[in-house]
Amino acid sequence: MKKKYQGSSRVKRAQLQALRRDFETLAMKDGESVSSYFARTMEICTRMRFYGEKMKDVTILEKSLRSLTRTFDYVVCVIEESKI
């Protein structure tokens, strides 16, 4: 029984590693809308959580704000300064 499911855990681990790489390299594309960018981000995060990744919402938000295009720098600044 253990051998039967061992391959499954290896596949899950490999899939999670690929998703982590996608998350780390994630960045908003020029001309992409904020909503489509956040949808892409949440899709990756949801899949990571499905494979067992413990991810805080703050981590996702910080990554999202860091990877917005330069045109949103002022928005990011306002959001970061308004944190309590």
pTM of the model as a whole: 0.78
| Per-residue pLDDT at 82 | 84
d(CA 31, CA 40): 14
Q: Which among 56, 51, 48, 52 has a CA at the least distance from the CA of 26? A: 48
10-residue mean pLDDT series, the chain (84 residues)? 62 92 94 94 95 92 90 84 72
| Per-residue pLDDT at 78 | 86
